[in-house]
Chains A and B, each alone.
Chain A
Amino acid sequence: MRRITFMQAINEALAQEMERDPTVVVFGEDNAGGAGAPGEDDAWGGVMGVTKGLYHSFPGRVLDTPISESAFIGAAAGAACSGLRPVAELMFVDFMGVCFDQIFNQAAKFRYMFGGKARTPMVIRTMYGAGIRAAGQHSQSLYPIFTHIPGLKVAIPSSPYDAKGLMIQAIRDDDPVIFFENKVLYAVEGEVPEESYTVPFGEANFVREGDDVTIVAIGRMVSFAEQAAEELAGDGIECEILDPRTTSPLDEESIYESVENTGRLVVVDESNPRCSLASDIAALVAQNCFEDLKAAPKMVTAPHTPPPFSPTLEDAYVPDPERIAAAAREVVEGAGARA
């Protein structure tokens, strides 16, 4: 099958949905890119080039916005309520704080507070994650905050296939979706069908099957977990890797199904450890699978610090395959493990 990059997969999802549905519009900082400069209108396509090429294919439906996140995220919420399906790009999730009212108090609440009479089919695309030396204000993994808010859906693709399918699902969904793109994954290639397709929300992907330990990993961490599992397989430890794909809704059932079989859990989460996806999933498993557990669940996360600017420290900050493998060994063989 054809292979394209994670970035191309998102671009293709946007293009196909814009083609299919005239109410889909795209806007954000530099999404059109340098508008007013003849011949170079789509020179940018967003800060990383994800929307490149759409401006000319869909005249009038790809808009640049001022550097005013609270204004254009509010505009997206309003547009969604009045008949459009906006996909707004908020460059880095680190900047989301200036529009929490629009997201938490408005978009997430419309359907609930208007008695189910309002729909808010909007998508906010945003980059997250460390790894490009962009320091503390451009490198955070803030998806736990949005997962916490009822009324929002949160998608975090780990592969080009999932990126395209989850994006199409996000655009067709009638609720606000925060779509997290790990900037380090943009260049990753994978098999992606040319046709349009969806990946449903709330269904985890069994990336690898195994009987000894369940590793739940999110976004970029999935490929790290795969590397760890490969190494552990050499020593006879078989890992089962689950990628939740969406953290809201969360496919709890598949996680429990796996842990009931393996009896051991490692959660890998690039965000800070307190009130994180890792702590949430570990707590859910502790509550719901206590009888099955042969060892205390382990979390592999970033430390409780901002992402450092120093390359050496940044590399040490992000969970890596070695730390994942060590955690898996610990729950299988270590002092914490029960026979």
Chain B
Amino acid sequence: MSGIVKLGMPKWGLSMTEGQLVRWLVEEGAELKPGDEVAEAESEKINGTVEAPAAGVLRRRVAREGEVIPVGGLLGVIADPAVPEGEIDSFIEEFQATFVPGEAGEEAGPEPQTVEVGGRSIRYLKHGEGEETAILLHGFGGDLNNWLFNQEVLADGRAVYALDFPGHGGSTKEVEGTLDELAGVVSGFMDALGIERAHLVGHSMGGAVAATLALARPERVASLVLIASAGLGPEINEEYIRGFIAAGRRKEMKSVLQLLFADPDLVTRQLVNDVLKYKRLDGVDEALKKLAGGIFPGGRQANVLTSRLTESEVPILVIWGDKDAILPPEHAAELSGRAPAEVLEGRGHMVQMEAAGEVNRLIEDFIGGLE
């Protein structure tokens, strides 16, 4: 039964064992390219899109909308139009008869680890192996889970690290709050793990950190992918920064987090809870205030790196969502002539989550092209 490809329930993050098929986005019989969005699914923690793993026709929608399917379980079948119906039926029958739910879910994958950097404990997650290395750097108030839909995909044939900045996630909460300090954490992290040179993929504040390191230590940065990045203009949505720091309760937090996404439904109760749990750790409040004061004082970005980046030689790719409500999409054009800018329609600030497939492909093409 060659040419038949399973469309399975993806695994988003360590704890996901099953997901609910929210709705189909294409009809049976639709022609698909790899990466086309086929369905919407939802785990306990997050909503995401299921993408076609290969080209072909969506021959069967096996899972019903609303149905809960274990990770790795069958959502649908993709195959060439030439494959006879009978073969599709026996593929489904055989899969359902032999599939053991839980196996894929228990195939745990890597777990976050910690490393000592300059006296601080830094949490990180590593996926993949290879000669080339990429490091993913989250934004203000985020953590390594912001790359849930990206890290594993990008780790095909290379080592991809995602870390938590000080003051965030599972890292030490003490922070002074400057870009130079955070860039020093990244180079210290590279030293500690024996990484000489890496592609830096930075989102929002993490983009400005990546750019700062590329300017200070160009020999260590193979390329920059700046996603909805800080550092490319003075404007920033001050209301978001203030609101994120001030929000202590579910309702306030929800409306603040909805600014991050073009589709407010992506802010699930679980996402709000996870952010609140983080914010209620001792030291986080102070860390966020210091970072905001150091990097976004008075509701403006303290460091605009555009002209220095233009003069630098590091390869740069800029990605933005045109519905970004935190950092203006116009900043994407600030490096025009110097770096390609991809502005994705209908996506918000968390563009790497909202349009994971597209962003992954852009990064892969860009980094892959350099390698």
Contact = CB atoms under 8 A, between A and B. Distances in A.
B248 interface: yes
Contact of A197 (B248, B249, B277): B277
Given A203-B249, A203-B250, A198 B280 contact: yes
B146 to A, nearest CB: 18
Interface residues of A, number: 13
A193 interface: yes
B108 interface: no
Contacts of B107: none
Contacts of B273: 205-206
Contacts of B283: 195
Given A203-B249, A203-B250, A197 B269 contact: no
Contacts of A197: 277, 280-282
Nearest to B250: A203
A199 B280 contact: yes
Contacts of A254: 250
Interface residues of B, number: 11
Nearest to A198: B280
Contacts of A198: 280
B171 to A, nearest CB: 11
B281 A196 contact: yes
Interface string B256-296: 00000000000001000100010011110000000000000
A193 B281 CA distance: 9
A200 interface: yes
Given A200-B248, A200-B249, A206 B282 contact: no
A49 to B, nearest CB: 26
Interface string B228-249: 0000000000000000000011
A196 B280 CA distance: 9
A165 interface: yes
Interface string B90-105: 0000000000000000
A209 interface: yes
A157 to B, nearest CB: 15
Nearest to B283: A195
A224 B84 CA distance: 50
Interface in B171-194: 173
B282 A195 contact: yes
Interface of B: 173, 248-250, 269, 273, 277, 280-283
8 contacts: A193-B277, A195-B281, A195-B283, A196-B281, A196-B282, A197-B282, A200-B248, A203-B249
